[in-house]
Structure formats: structure tokens, C-alpha cells
Amino acid sequence: MALRVCAALVAALITPVAFAMAAGLSAPERTGRAVGMVAAGLTVSLFLGVPAGTVLGAAFGWRAAFVAVAVLTCLVLFASAASLPSLPGSPQAGPREQFKALTRPAILFCVTGTVLGASCGFMTYTYVAPITMDLTGSSGVVLAPLIATIGVAGALGTLVCGRATDRWGADRVLLVTFVGMVVTSAVLALLVPLTGGGLPVWALGGVFAVWGFAAWGFAAPMSARLLGLAGDAGTEALALNTGGLYVGTAVAGMVGGAVVATFGGAAVPVAAACVGLVALVVMALSVRRYPTAVPEPLAPQRSGT
């Protein structure tokens, strides 16, 4: 158990550093797509890691999954050391200055939005099985393609929203993704009374695809917005935001479990939509009070004469 806690702490440390390095290695006008690539990698790892670990554990025992993680980690470590350039450190600041930077309202608004957004998104994802059962009457084998659909849509969402951030700014894209989460969660909530629990699986897959695109797409513009607001404390702000993501995931499991136990799977999208609406209001207020700059359009390159 202690080793698993240590592994979780290391993972929590790597995530904000990866976002910060991606932003530092990219041109300012390409920050969105850089952090979007990192977010896409995290999304793909989420949807591939769990089933891959399950297969390894079933075939070779549970230790095989941990050995595979260790081997892959070493490969990434060596590849990163060999290929990534050195980046200058941030200006020296003591713990008091760092803490003061992280308590700015602009940063706390973003972290609150991440907590609420993750609660909305992971609530639906965590309880996708009872939701699918109540909406379609199916379970078991249909879950695998539905989860795969969410994973592909989520990865595309992070990439597309990252590029959109560079074009239209983090604030606009962030609000659009939150609107998408709320609307698709509301659609899922309305499908049970409208279809009587007989929704075709392919139709549910279509709704899940749109939902997954928005639910995972907000990571890139949120990270870009934090980097723009935090200044020299960007890495620390991203670390705090990562903590908010984990808090939101825990809240999603707790609230979603209580909802399923009391009202059934069909009620989970209702709760998710309510949480998502609160998240949208929080981020709308944040964007209005603390806007970030819209990136300058890229100048067309001229061919040499």
C-alpha cells in the first residue's frame, strides 16, 4: 500500500511538470496544441492502461502489470533524458511567495472549475455501466465499444481543443467545452423518459462520443488559461490544478455512488448536469472577472525570393 501511495505521488508530480514543459518548449502561439498533446496522452493512457493491466494480470498474475509499468517508465525516462532539451528554471521564490501566488482568486477560480468539471465528467464515466443498462437494457459486451468510443472522442477532444485554444483563446474554448458537458449530460438525463429505456446502443454511443469530446477537451484550455494567469508560478498552479482533478474524481465516485444506490443509473446524468451547470457558472464568472489574452493570429510565411 505504501508503494502504491508513492507511485501515486510521483504520477501527481509528473503531470503538471509535463504540461509546463510542453508549454515551455513550444512557441507562445502554439501553447494550446502543446498542452493538448499532453492531455491527449493522459486520456489515451487512462482508457488503454486499465484494460491492458487487466489483461496482463489475468494472463500472468497481478505482478506482471506492475512490471510492465516499471519497464515502460524506464523506457520513457531514458528517451526523455536523451531527447528533451534543458529548460531554465523559474525565478527563485520562497514557499511564502509561491503560496501567495496560488491563493490568488484567478487561480482558485480555475481550480474550482476543474474540481467541478472533473466531478461532472468522471461521474458519468465511472458509472457508465448502470447508465447504459438503464438507457438501453444492455450490459456486458456492449460496454467495451462504448468505453472505446469515449476514449477516442476524449483524445480527439483534447487535440482539437488545444488547437482551438491557439486560435480563439483559452477562455472561449473552455466555456464551450463546459457548455458541451452540461448539454450532453442533460440529453443523457432526458433519454430515459423519452425512450422508455429502449435506446439503441449505437445512438447512446453517439451521445457518449460528443460528451467525451467535451468532458476531456476542457483540460487543454484550462491548462493554457492557468499558465497565462499564473506567470512565474505556472508549474505550481498546474500542480494545484492536478490536485483539483483528483479531488473532482473522488467526489464524482462518491456522489455518483450515492445517486445510483438511491435513484438508479439513469439519475447519474441528472446529477452530473447539475454539477456541470455550477461549473459553467463558476468559469463564466472567472472568465469575465479574470480574462486571458486572445492569441495573436499566426502571420503567413512568405517564401524567399
Q: How many CB atoms neighbour CB 295 within 10 A?
A: 19
Tell me what percent of the residues of the chain surpass a pLDDT of 70.
85
Task: Please write the tens of the pLDDT for every residue from 140-198.
Answer: 778 888 888 998 898 899 889 988 988 888 899 999 999 999 999 999 999 888 888 78
- Residue 218 in contact with residue 286, Cβ under 8 Å? no
pLDDT at 83: 79
Helix boundaries (H) for 61-138: 62-83, 95-102, 105-126, 128-136
Task: Please write the tens of the pLDDT for every residue from 95-137.
Answer: 565 566 677 889 999 999 999 999 999 999 989 999 999 898 8
Q: Which domains does the chain have, with CATH numbers?
A: 2-70+100-289 (1.20.1250.20)
pLDDT at 206: 93
Three-class SS state of 169: coil
